[in-house]
Amino acid sequence: MSAIATGSRNEGNSTVFSFEQQTTIPSYLIALVVGNLASAKISDRCAVWSEPENIDACAWEFAEMETILQTAEDVISPYLWGRYDLLVLPPSFPYGGMENPCLTFVTPTLLAGDRSLTDVIAHEIAHSWSGNLVTAKNWEHFWLNEGWTTFFERKIVSRLSGEDARQLSCVIGEADLLESIDFYGKDNPLTALVPKLDGVDPDDAYSTVPYDKGAHLLYYLEHLLGGPAVFEPYMRSYIQTYQGRSIGTEDWKSHLFSYFTSNDSAKVELLNSIEWDKWLTAPGMPPVSNYYDERPQKACLALADRWLNAASDCAYDQFLPTDIEEFSTMQRVIFLSRLADSAPLQSSMLAAIDSTYKLTGYRNCEVRFGWLALALKSNYMDVSSAVVNMLSTQGRMKYTRPLYRLLHACPDGRSLAEQTFLRMRDFYHPICARMVEKDLGL
């Protein structure tokens, strides 16, 4: 449960389990887990739970939980919840993670076999402060949960893996934001950071906008106001001021001004110069672009450009599997995204890419999804069985909805997308099934 276990007792043919949660939480964070579960201890305050068949793989994949949690404490403040356990759910779970206090739920798509997708764990751990301690008062202010958490996540990743990793995450986040805004339409009010949701199902408004537009704003403010040395004491004050409360964007903004009025009044003039309406209530991309270091992207973008330049005479034998061996997951995703920007690509080029890098069967779901999306954008139906396999073995909406939309848009894929969904609908979580049904117009 999203609480601390305090014991159990037998009552006739039943066992009664008791839990205690001493920290105030909103009702949406109350969660119960029932099933055949095993656990593996990671540290005195961290454990991994899963079905017994998967526990060894899960324990290995998430062995760095305690390190991530300690890093989060260094970035933000001491962890107040006692335990931080992780539950790996069945593959139909529709999200990357759900930040239930004391017991985060995660998708098994994080089991990459190389611990390369643990940035999601950094995100869920960061929710222990933004979202769980300081909570958005309703879904119109969802960015206070997710924008702050994404910002914290990237700071944690920077401490663990270096600033290059943070910069790459920001680049990918901005690309995801642009894709979400293109999907909804740049004038769609649901792309505002603080949208009006009167009469709107929050599930219909769910996108990367509160995550990446919110993190974009906080990154902008950090640099505008003087960098981490100035901004990090402020963000700790923000958490301390509002912990245990549900707040709105005006509360956040009021504290921002009041903090700098008290601690560095020269910054208030900078805050007054910001076009707040454009940031908070206007649809579309943020009004100001952030600068991200291009150096960590250089090698992967150069490789993508070499492939594009080689297409004119099909000079593909210059490429080797070792080209991407040293790339991080994020660099591989950026490589594929760069190619996707030029889609549709020639079938011969896509066949050569797959032959060289063996992407169709890639275990890492982020990379495999990036490859399959690129192929479908080019109507390369040689990957159709791999697409159906991915749609049939997991239900994470980050992958499932775009793959269905892209397959459905292919001239030879429409019927396959619909048949696959009708066959798999009962496997998916009801939210995922409803959203895919809407995406496909069924």
The residues that are catalytic are 124, 211
Gap between the Cα atoms of 268 and 262, Å rounded = 10
Residue type, 415: S
Strands 103-106, 84-88: pairing is parallel
Q: Under a CB-based contact definition with an 8 Å cutoff, are residues 93 and 107 in contact?
A: yes
Count of C-beta atoms within a 10 Å radius of residue 419: 11
Both tokens assigned to 73: 């404490």
Instruction: Determine if residue 154 is left, alpha or beta; phi over 0 gives left, psi from -120 to 50 gives alpha, anything else beta.
Output: alpha
Report the DSSP beta bridge partners of residue 245: 134
With H, G, I as helix, E, B as strand and everything else as coil, classify residue 104.
strand
**Helical axes 65-75 vs 143-161, angle rounded to 10°:** 110
Instruction: Determine if residue 308 is left, alpha or beta; phi over 0 gives left, psi from -120 to 50 gives alpha, anything else beta.
Output: alpha
H helices, E strands: number in the chain? 19, 9
Within its chain, how far is the Cα of 56 from the centroid?
25
Q: Under a CB-based contact definition with an 8 Å cutoff, are residues 121 and 58 in contact?
A: no
Instruction: Determine if residue 356 is left, alpha or beta; phi over 0 gives left, psi from -120 to 50 gives alpha, anything else beta.
Output: alpha
Count of C-beta atoms within a 10 Å radius of residue 243: 16
For 42-179, strand residue ranges (E) read 46-50, 84-88, 97-98, 103-106, 134-136
Helices (H), 162-288: 163-184, 202-205, 214-225, 228-242, 249-263, 266-272, 276-280
Gap between the Cα atoms of 173 and 176, Å rounded = 5
Gap between the Cα atoms of 364 and 156, Å rounded = 22
Largest CA-CA distance found in the chain, in angstroms, rounded? 77
